[in-house]
Structure 1
Amino acid sequence: MIPIEHVFRAVETPLFWLGAVTAAWLSVCSVYRLLAGIKVWVLGNGKLVSPATLGKWAVVTGATDGIGKAYAEELARRGFSIVLISRSQEKLDEVSKAIESKCGVETKTIAADFSSVNIYSKIEDALAGLEIGVLVNNVGISYTYPEFFLSVPSLDTFIDTLVNVNITSVCQMTRLVLPQMAERKKGAILNISSASGMHPVPLLTVYSASKAFVDFFSRGLQAEYKSKGIIIQSVLPFFVATKLSKIRRATLDKPSPERYVAAELNTVGLQTQTNGYLPHAIMGWVTTALLPASILSRHMMGVTLSQRARYLKKQKQG
């Protein structure tokens, strides 16, 4: 029988080197992530998002409120001429005049209801001849309140509307703009997904799934067109203080649309998939890397059930 001390001696050296290599690898990975984080969140992408680099015009859907409006304003501030696309011509005119007055750039407006599917020939005609450097696929809708799938009011219509606005619009607008970007070998398409697309959100299931589609669509297209000089980015914000989120007061973890967009644009060209804002990136890392999916799902179910109960109680009281 081999003495136990001989066994220990036999494996001591291999285990030492295994531990040393593992520690070295973890150290290298940690340093790489730290440097990558500094590059993204401290240094940013410099002057990448500019008309000189990408092209004269930026097109923004859902451009009259919230994140879309903030993108239009920030891109105009950077010198882009802006095409604003949204449903209300009155709101479009208001935002257009404000941008022209404040930033001194040219604007165009296109009134289009993305819940319909017969709008894209009109949009295509309006965009003809424009050198489009940036497309922001921002338009989107969510639930009025969290609800079980079969209990969503007017479920049939709701499904069609949400899919048309959140999914079809991204595919169709990309179809219209990508060919001339590919021909020029430059351009950026920013598809606004959501952190709810990173994991299922019960009682917001159709919305969450639609945003997961936007994320996968974006990452697949980036793999296809990266070699052709095109940037296609999936943007996954957590809560931002907008009308859609029903958050009125901005905080550190729930920034204003302007603060969020200014941070997000500095990640373009550096991250294919981004939460866009450092506190959101930390939240994304915690929810995907640290929390088991089952625990996260139970937590989200509790949150949405609570929101549903508050909404229904308020409706009864009203």
Structure 2
Amino acid sequence: MALEAIVIACVFFFRLVITMAAVDRFSLLYREISRSCSFYIEALAIVGAWYTVRKCVSLALDTYSALRLHVIPRLSGNTDLVKKYGKWAVVTGSTDGIGKAYAEELAKRGVNIILVSRNKEKLEAVSRSISETYKVETDFIVADFSKGRELYPAIKEALKDREIGILVNNVGIFYDYTDYFTNLSEDMLWDLIHINIASATMMTHIVLPGMVKKKKGAIVNVSSAVCCHPTPMYTVYGATKSYLDYFSRALYYEYASKGIFVQSLMPSVTTTKLVAFNSVMSKRSFLFPTAEEYASHAVSTLGLSIRTTGYWRHAIQFTLSQFLPEWMWAWSALYLCRVMRKQALTAK
């Protein structure tokens, strides 16, 4: 639109110069300018009207999409996830935070749950609690994803006879606090790769063939809103979440024709252990929901959007952030992360 306007203005200016050269009286010049202007004003009005219509249509579609994703499912009742996807759901990183809350939401809808995490005592407690509260079958697998490829054969063996309908790749780690890349230890870097990237890749590779065979299933990869912007002092964490986002979207198009739904879930800040280093983010507020609040909304988007924040308040934050130039986002994030790092070091 801007290029068309520039071209029209240039043509108008060129004709104006020719007209000025051809007349020697002001009245004649004025008449010629008026005649020339009428065409270009009409052309610019058409361009402006077309731009306005496009923006209005885009706004209407975005509004409808937001209502369809975040409002209508909450009013129309729960989808029968067992019928749509299958009897069992596997949730990694499921003894705390979003993973635990998501498992509880699935159980509330009648789905049997297999919990996967590294702490056996917590797994037993959460498994028992979900089973008793929601009257569903539960099981668990002890797995420390930081160990790398050695643990996946055992997981594959444990899942081989299950009808897995939903896989939630939630397990992930963050730094102890926001920090510079060179301050991260090699152990931390390998843990980020093994836990945030390899776990989702390998768990999907284990479960997906069974879903393809049944021609139905859902895979939810919990990414992060920071995957969409270069965020200093979140560098490696953000990069691992960008991998999950890309992996999810590409996988969806690869397997949608086979009845598989793949979702990239991109939460913003929720009050979980990952943000315990910061006193502001670790407290529930309008901007920072609890894991339970978040999961309640996120599960209702399953099957509706392949890429979503999962929560309407996070969606507003995400939309507003898209209007910021990259440099403004990056420098603002760098300033806030430096402040958070200083606070964490002082507390430590």
Who wins on radius of gyration, i.e. which is larger? Answer: 2
TM-score (norm 2): 0.86
Q: Secondary structure at the match of 1:312?
A: helix
In structure 2, the CA distance between the partners of 1:232 and 1:207, relative to structure 1 (3 Å rule), is same
CA contact (8 A) 2:78 2:109 kept: no
Given the alignment, which residue of 247, 257, 261 partners 1:227?
A: 257
Displacement of 1:36 in angstroms is: 1.5
Given the alignment, which residue of 209, 213, 218 partners 1:188?
A: 218
Report the identity percentage. Answer: 40
Count of aligned pairs between the two proteins: 312
- The one-letter amino acid paired with 1:54 is Y
> 1:255-287 deviations in whole A, cap 9, x for unaligned?
111110110111122211111111100100111
5+ residue gaps, structure 2: 1-17, 20-31
Given the alignment, which residue of 73, 81, 101 partners 1:70?
A: 101
- The one-letter amino acid paired with 2:179 is E
Displacement of 1:195 in angstroms is: 1.3
CA contact (8 A) 1:46 1:266 kept: no
Displacement of 1:20 in angstroms is: 2.6
5+ residue gaps, structure 1: none
* Residue in 1 that maps onto 2:51: 22
Structure 2 CA distance for aligned equivalents of residues 46 and 305 of structure 1: 44
> 1:118-177 deviations in whole A, cap 9, x for unaligned?
11111011111111111000000000122211122xx22111111000000010000011
Structure 2 CA distance for aligned equivalents of residues 208 and 16 of structure 1: 44
- The one-letter amino acid paired with 1:300 is A
* Residue in 2 that maps onto 1:141: 173
> 1:56-114 deviations in whole A, cap 9, x for unaligned?
00000001001000011110110000000000111000001101110111111100000
Q: Secondary structure at the match of 2:219?
A: strand
Displacement of 1:17 in angstroms is: 2.6
CA contact (8 A) 2:169 2:200 kept: yes
Moved more, 229-238 or 8-17: 8-17
Displacement of 1:248 in angstroms is: 4.0
Q: Secondary structure at the match of 1:157?
A: helix
CA contact (8 A) 1:49 1:265 kept: no
Question: How big is the alpha-carbon RMSD for the aligned residues of Structure 1 and Structure 2?
Answer: 1.4
* Residue in 2 that maps onto 1:298: 331
Structure having the larger proportion of residues in helix: 2
In structure 2, the CA distance between the partners of 1:141 and 1:262, relative to structure 1 (3 Å rule), is same
Superposed, which structure 2 residues align to 1:1-318 within 5 Å? Answer: 1-2=18-19, 3-44=32-73, 47-48=78-79, 50-117=81-148, 118-152=150-184, 155-246=185-276, 247-288=281-322, 290-315=323-348
TM-score (norm 1): 0.94
